[in-house]
Structure 1
C-alpha cells in the first residue's frame, strides 16, 4: 500500500515543476491513486478517459462479466492516456478470460493501443499472430497509419 502523505507530496512536486502533463507520469499517478484507494479523485486530476478505467475496475470488483465491448472502452482510455502498462495488463486480462481478440472492434482497439503507445512490435504481433481476421488486419493496418 502506498503512503498517502508521500503520494500526495509526489503529485504536488510534479504539479510544482510542471511535470503533471507527461503521459508516463500520469500513468504512474493513476496507479498510485488506485493503490491508495482514491479512485474517485482520479477524474479530477486526469479527466474523462479515466471514467472508463474506473468503470472497468468497478465492474471487475463487483464480479460483473466484462465483455469485449468493455475491453474496447478500457483500451481506448489506455490509448488516450498513453498508458502502455495498463494496456498490457488489459491484453493479459483478455487472454486469461478467453475474450475474442479476433472481434473486429476489440482486435483493432488492441492494435491501436499498442501502436499509439509506441509498441509497434506488439501491434504487428497482434495483427499477424493474434488470430485476427482479414478484415481486422486491414482495419488494424489503417489504425497504424493514424
Structure 2
C-alpha cells in the first residue's frame, strides 16, 4: 500500500464508524395510516435504547405489554395498532442493525490496513550498509 493511501483508508474507515454510530443512536421513524384514517407518526426507540427504561414507556393494560416507542396522534390506535407499530419498529431496528454489521466489515478491514500501512511506513527507514 502506498504511503499516502493509509490516510485515505483511515478516513474512509472513520466515516464508516461514524455511520455505524448514527445507526446505533438514531431511532427510526415513520408515518402510517389505515384506509380512510388520518396519518399516525411513530418515532421508534434507537438500538442503544432498546430495553432501557425510559419516561416515555407506558403499560398497555389490555395485553400487559410495555411500549417504549412514541406514537403521535389524537386518535386511539388500539391494541392491534400498537402491536403492528411495535412490530414495524422492531423490523426497522433490525434493518439498522443489519446495516451496522454490513458497514463493520469494510470499516474494520480499512482500519487494519491503515494501521498496518502506517506502521510499515515508519519501519522502512533508509538503512546504510557497512563498507567492507
TM-score, normalization by structure 2: 0.24
TM-score, normalization by structure 1: 0.23
Higher RCO (Cα < 8 Å, 6 or more apart): 2
The structure in which a higher percent of residues are helix is 1
The structure in which a higher percent of residues are strand is 2
Larger Rg: 1 or 2?
A: 2
